[in-house]
Chain A
Amino acid sequence: MQLHYGFDELKDIDFMAFIPIILPFFAVGILLVLIALIDLYRHRKTRKSLLMWTFIILFVNTLGPILYFVIGRKDSERL
């Protein structure tokens, strides 16, 4: 088996075969971000540190929305 990949060879990777595989991966990530943002927007009045969470959701790759879901929403449950 040839295990020597050069930079040029990377370009040679068939991107058309590549995209259908990797696309759902990103789609899932984006979906998570969207749901997190929608939830944050719906509860914008009761959430603390709104801005911080917006940034975390948007910029902390995939872990951001997860973090928001598991710990970012606890403050509103006090009521």
Chain B
Amino acid sequence: MKLEIKNVTKTFKEKIAVNNFSMELQSGECVGLIGPNGAGKSTLIKVISDIIDPQAGEVLLNGKKISKMKREIGYLPQYPNFFHWMTAKETLTFMGKLSGLQKEELTNSIPEILTKVGLRGEENSKVGTFSGGMKQRLGIAQALLHKPSLIVMDEPVSALDPIGRREVLNLIEEIKKDTTILLSTHILGDAEEICERFVIIKNGTKIEDTTITELLNRNSKNKLNVEITAKDQKWIDVVKKLPYVKEIEVIGHKVQIKVENIEKNKNMLLENALEHKVDIVKFEINNDTLEEIFLKLVVKE
């Protein structure tokens, strides 16, 4: 399985929702599409699941147009909305048959999938009585039912309460083992938890496509955070003169020191501090959290 998104552009009236977006997805990956509200995530997801046509560019699955490969895609909308008069089982039967499954396959796979998403025992309840979390799980069930090679999820957890969120996250963690997943979210914590790879999108443009470890490493920028007591403030002047120190920033008792090479220089700095009998409260490598990196990426320009 290989999903290719090639130079997709989609505009609504004057507003550009997705601007020349390209990416590739390999089998077994779990990719988080993150970005602020209105960045074009949902539009992109809809283009991928063939709900809207892009003005330019194309989406290919295994080299074929996505509209010919619907059988291979499982789609979960942002607000899964089923016919409220159907029961959970009827909904799955209906969606399954539309996906081209046979009745015999369905009689086996529906109870199985309902167990998986934790809706066993609710198969004969009307969907109209379901809570948001239950609908979301039913949505996941219908997306998994026909064993697609790619599952596309639009904000699978954003609209849920903490309990529903946890249920769905665990479920995604579970299904991640045997399918390729592309999901969009604006909550970083969720993406951090389930995805290895991130694509950050802003104003319809891809601004970052990387893995979480790489992103964290790249953004550490050779900085050390040192916290010292008031009586050792004069040590800062010593540090400023050190050859490997490039930049220094003092915020109260905290000093942020930028060095040339974090690996080599951090111990040298520590030795230096000990030589001067500095009372160290805290000595750490500056690690931006994902949120800080995200904010920096999205807010810059």
Contacts and interface: CB of A to CB of B under 8 A. Distances in A.
B162 interface: no
Interface in B61-85: 81, 84
Interface residues of A, number: 4
A46 B129 CA distance: 11
Contacts of A76: 84
A77 B82 CA distance: 11
A79 interface: yes
Contacts of B81: 79
Nearest to A77: B84
B128 interface: yes
Interface string A62-79: 000000000000001101
Q: Among the interface residues A46, A76, A77, A79, which one has the most CB atoms of the partner chain B within 10 A? A: A79
Interface string A27-53: 000000000000000000010000000
Interface in B226-266: none
6 contacts: A46-B128, A76-B84, A77-B84, A79-B81, A79-B84, A79-B128
Interface of B: 81, 84, 128
Which 6 residue pairs are nearest across A and B when measured between Cβ atoms? Answer: A79-B84, A79-B128, A77-B84, A76-B84, A46-B128, A79-B81
